[in-house]
Amino acid sequence: MNRRFVNLLVNRLCAPRPAYRLHCIDPATLFYPTGSPQPADPAAINDSAPAPGRLPAPTISFDWPCKPHQSGWMDFMAFKNNIIAVDHEGRTLLYDTASRAVRALNPMQPPLRSYNIFVTVGDSLYVMASEAGLGSRLIWFHALIYGQPPDFIGQQDWYWRPLDLPCFDYEGANYKSDLPHSDYDSDADEDWNADYTDSADDTNTNESPHPCAICAYTVVGNSQIWVSTLGAGTYSFDIVSGTWSKVGMWVLPFRGRAVYVPEHNLWFGFSDKDDQLCAVDLALTQPVLQKVLEDPPLPEACSRMASHLLHLGSGKLCVQRLFQKTQQGSLLQSVPSDEKDEGFAVLAGVEVRRDDGIGDLQMIKHKSMHYGFDENGVKLL
């Protein structure tokens, strides 16, 4: 595996000055050793209950970026094995998980509250953001690149470069608001610290999603970013030419981000139908699901709040699910504080392989770990 850590950011939402603590989990703990005996029935693994896990000590803490009880925010993005942090004033930090060193980068201008999409392509980080609210259109696109900033004389450094937004070809008559993607939550783990937004950011979630809202995205050929919209098809951004083009009127069959697994030349993500892990070949004219790994039924009184997928290398994946549960079986946000129970994350190791390298695709679940967080906020990176 070439991924060193699975990163969890945790902060205490009710603290007057909540620090963001980064816990780095060794992904090897999610897999059985190579060559170890496997049960005769794979379902014995796939349906087993997650084992209780204990988070390792935090490697670093990011302090609240303003005075106690003052309105502000800090958001985090994964950049290869490193972490990028941006606050409400655009101040940007890079944390190197290998050397455990922190350095300040050129600020992001203008900063936005939530970054719905961030992907690494080559040696740069590409970030997109939408208007506040569920299913809103894209309004912001920047890249964090290393080079010579415009109108700057001096050494090369990391800086944020604004990029062109796509011009979606949309005809209102062709849009249906009940498309299966319409409940896409833009990797809901991106909104884990929403309690600290200004009141002006409050939105009416009953509004219909915008037909040009992004519902799925991925990286193709390490040179293109593909994004699918609710009603305007799928588009590609070429990082070399800096231009957008239309791929087709079809929609990627994922919910949120899909990751490429080069060992099998397939893309893996969560199905837009039922949020189950699935595989797709994007070389096809109109991609369709090839393989689905079904999760066991949710425990009683639990609601899945977010799903996240990491490619670890060597045909191995880490499936991260964030849940909330209450004594009454309701979402935490909708019940009195004295009835709140806990939030928890489940991390599962999944191995993708073919018999003799040429047989049918198999997705085998190894170990899964359960981490409880009470009323803390959690972000999966």
DSSP assignment of 111-141 equals --S---EEEEETTEEEEEEE-SSTTPBEEEE
Tell me the per-residue pLDDT of 239-261, one tens digit each, with 9 for 90 and over.
999 999 999 999 999 999 999 99
Tell me the per-residue pLDDT of 102-120, one tens digit each, with 9 for 90 and over.
999 999 988 877 777 899 9
Give every strand in the sheet of 234-238, ordered side by side. Answer: 243-248, 234-238, 224-229, 214-220, 256-257
Residue that wins the pLDDT comparison between 37 and 86: 86
Distance from chain centroid for Cα 150: 31
pLDDT at 159 over 50: yes
How would you label 279-299 residue by residue, b for 16+ Cβ within 10 Å and e otherwise? bbebeeeebebebebebeeee
Q: For residue 310, what pLDDT is reported?
A: 94
What's the mean pLDDT when you consider all of the chain?
80
Residue 43 parent element (H or E): helix 43-46
Residue that wins the pLDDT comparison between 124 and 64: 124
Per-range mean pLDDT, top range of 110-119, 174-183, 232-241, 353-362 = 232-241
Q: Using 50, 70 and 90 to split pLDDT, how confident is the model at 314?
A: very high
Q: Given the structure tokens 């588009």, which residue do they identify?
A: 235
List the single range of 144-158, 262-276, 338-352 with lowest mean pLDDT.
338-352
Please check whether residue 83 is in contact with residue 77, taking contact to mean a CB–CB distance below 8 angstroms.
yes
For the CA atoms of the chain, what is the radius of gyration? 21
Who contacts 265 (Cβ-Cβ below 8 Å, separation ≥6)? Answer: 281, 283
Q: Given the structure tokens 């009710």, which residue do they identify?
A: 14
Q: Using 50, 70 and 90 to split pLDDT, how confident is the model at 234?
A: very high
Cα 84-86-88 angle, rounded to 5 deg: 170
Cα 66-71-74 angle, rounded to 5 deg: 60
CA end-to-end distance (rounded Å), the chain: 17
Q: Are strands 340-354 and 361-374 parallel, antiparallel or unpaired?
A: antiparallel
Q: For residue 341, what pLDDT is reported?
A: 52
Q: For residue 301, what pLDDT is reported?
A: 75
> Which tokens hold the place of 176?
């249906």
Q: For residue 299, what pLDDT is reported?
A: 66
Please check whether residue 366 is in contact with residue 348, taking contact to mean a CB–CB distance below 8 angstroms.
yes
Please check whether residue 38 is in contact with residue 128, taking contact to mean a CB–CB distance below 8 angstroms.
no
Give the C-alpha separation, 293 to 273, whole Å: 13
Query: CA torsion sign, 136 to 107 to 81 to 375?
Result: negative
Q: Using 50, 70 and 90 to split pLDDT, how confident is the model at 36?
A: low
Q: For residue 198, what pLDDT is reported?
A: 30
